[in-house]
Amino acid sequence: MTRREETDDFLAHAWCRDMMNEPGWAPLSSRADDSNALFSKTLWTAETIRAHQSLYRGPSDEERAAGKSTGELRILLSLGSGLDGWPGVCHGGVMALVFDDTIHELTRKEMMGTTVTVSLKIDFRRPVRTPSVVLCRAHMSRPLSGRKAEAQATLEDGHGTVFAAAECVVVMLQGNL
């Protein structure tokens, strides 16, 4: 089955259009090319995650000089009511899944390898209403040391409301999973 991202969901919001056109941010490959079957097949429906757009910005030369050696990953998501745990409210487990996937997309870019989650701590602050368009942004909070690194992420709307925040510890795999 051919799948199409419902990007019109993003274009309906000025904050999404602005973010998608912001200089310095590069779109990443489509989730259709991803081996993560949960996102590339199971949750890609008109009722679940209708649209998904990843954007990455590496650190600028000034940021590198100031000791900030990581970039940021942003993922725009259009969430449908098929993700509800309660009518009109996205299930918290879906939010955890979004954090985990976003952080691993970031670590693939930043660490150039495959990582697995050791711990994921989430502070749920506000319900995510569905259907809606949300933004998940992530950055490395502690760079790779040995095989371990840490990242932080937020799930928010485009106007500053944070629905949840996450802290994650990942480890780099040494071989194949």
DSSP string, 31-65: GGG-S-HIIIIIT-STTSEEEEEEEEEPPPHHHHH
Sign of the Cα pseudo-torsion (49, 157, 131, 153, in order): positive
CATH number (3.40.50.720, 3.40.50.1820, 3.10.129.10, 3.90.180.10) of 8-172 reads 3.10.129.10
Say yes or no to pLDDT of 165 above 80: yes
Report the pLDDT value the prediction gives residue 70, as an integer from 0 to 100: 79
pLDDT for the residue numbered 35: 65
How many CA atoms, within 13 angstroms, populate the side-chain half-sphere of residue 164? Answer: 24
Residue 166 forms beta bridges with which residues?
122, 153
The pTM of this model reads 0.89
pLDDT digits (tens, 9 = 90+) for 61-78: 777 677 666 789 999 999
pLDDT tens digits, 78-108: 999 999 999 999 999 999 999 999 999 999 8
Q: Is residue 133 predicted with pLDDT exceeding 60?
A: yes
CA distance 16 to 65: 30
Owner of token pair 């790779």? 144
pLDDT of 1: 47
Whole-number percent of the chain with pLDDT over 90: 62
Q: Give the start-to-end residue ranges of the domains of the chain.
A: 8-172
pLDDT of 130 reads 97
> What pLDDT is attached to residue 73?
95
Q: What is the mean predicted confidence (pLDDT) over 47-62?
A: 88
Beta-bridge partners for 77: 52, 134
